[in-house]
Amino acid sequence: MTNPPLRLALIGWGAIAQTAAALLDSEQVEVVAVATRSRTGARPDVPASARRIVDPTELAATQPDVVAEAASSAGVGPWGRAALTAGADFIISSVAALADEQLLDLLRDLAGRRGAQVHIQPGALAGVDGLAAARSMGIDAVEHRIVKPPLAWMGTAAEDMCRLHTLSEPVAFFHADAAETASRFPKNANVAMTTALAGIGPRATKITLVADPDATTNRHEIAAHGAFGELNVAISNNPLPANPKTSSLAALSLIRAIENRTQAIVI
């Protein structure tokens, strides 16, 4: 007997969501809803099986099993509440939103009361599973270094911290904990909160942001040590063809998070 397809609602229809929809196995996952900013304008690229919605109050009627956010930090709260209230699991990509401790507590409480789960997908990172596992024995320190080309920091507070246009060598322009980093750079350092929540928390996790004129990819370097031993992970991400500002692995990690809910064996 074949199980029915997983009913998936996608929040956002940018490069990450579109890549996920295109690569997911349609026999195992049915996209039943896509949330966009507006209902106006033709969107032939939206799956034929999906209902276009614009407001969280419309979500429950689509009866999703899983709701995957791939939009923005601002959408995590309203869509997360709607998903969990409907009893659906909620996958978060815009993890910077969880720098708001009240929102994090609200989603945790709501998931517990509704028998649902909030899943923070690793996005552009590697090694998050090891970091989360090490936490059980104890972690003394976690440092996460984010290195990007100067162009990737344009339009952020980095413009006031260093001369992005004229850099001739790498500059570490910002040092802070994960909570402050995610709040000040919600799009460019979104994964700072992922590292923090996997390990020792937003206030104890140290983040360094670097603009490197020689960089051609977005690079993440995570170092941790404790009773478990030492963990050192580095990953350089190529951009998604559909959006050079987005790492390919951010979309691929979301696909894995969704597909794991349909598999008999999960790694």
Domain around 74 = 6-120
How much is the pLDDT for 243?
80
For residue 107, the model assigns a pLDDT of 98
Query: Which residue stretches of the chain have pLDDT < 70?
Result: 1, 42
What's the chain's Rg over C-alpha atoms?
19
Q: Please tell me the predicted confidence (pLDDT) of residue 245.
A: 75
**Whole-angstrom distance, CA of residue 61 vs CA of residue 56:** 10
Q: Do 22 and 57 share a domain, yes or no?
A: yes
Instruction: Give me the pLDDT at residue 223, please.
Output: 98
CA distances from 44 to 50, 51, 145, 223 (A): 11, 12, 40, 44
At 240 the pLDDT is: 86
Supply 76's token pair: 């995590």
- The CATH number linked to 79 is 3.40.50.720
Q: What is the pLDDT of residue 246?
A: 84
Q: What is the pLDDT of residue 1?
A: 56
DSSP secondary structure letter of residue 178: H
Residue 175 designated active-site: no
Q: Report yes or no on 90 lying in a domain.
A: yes
Does 198 lie in the same domain as 171?
Answer: yes
Number of domains composing the chain: 2
46/52 Cα distance (integer angstroms): 8
Task: Identify whether residues 107 and 78 lie together within a single domain.
Answer: yes
Which helix (H) or strand (E) segment is 200 a member of?
A: none
Instruction: With CA atoms as reference, report the closest residue to 54 among 70, 69, 67, 37.
Output: 37
Tell me, yes or no, whether 259 lies in a domain.
no
The domain that contains 187 carries what CATH number? 3.30.360.10
| Angle in degrees, CA 56, 198, 232, rounded to 5 | 135
Residues 189 and 181 sit within 8 Å (Cβ to Cβ):
yes
Instruction: Give exposure, 24-61, as e/b (b: 16+ Cβ within 10 Å).
Output: beeebbbbbbbbbeeeeeeeeebbeebbebeebebbee
Contact 63, 7 (CB under 8 A): yes
Q: Rounded CA gap, 50 and 103, in Å?
A: 28
Give me the long-range contacts of 179-182 (CB less than 8 A, separation at least 24).
179/99, 179/203, 180/99, 181/207, 181/209, 182/95, 182/96, 182/98, 182/99
For tokens 């994090």, name the residue: 104
Give dist(CA 13, CA 23) in Å, integer: 14
The answer as to whether 197 is a domain residue is: yes
Taking the whole predicted model, whether its pTM rises above 0.85 is answered as yes
Catalytic residue chosen out of the listed positions 144, 165, 175, 220: 220
**pLDDT at position 237:** 94
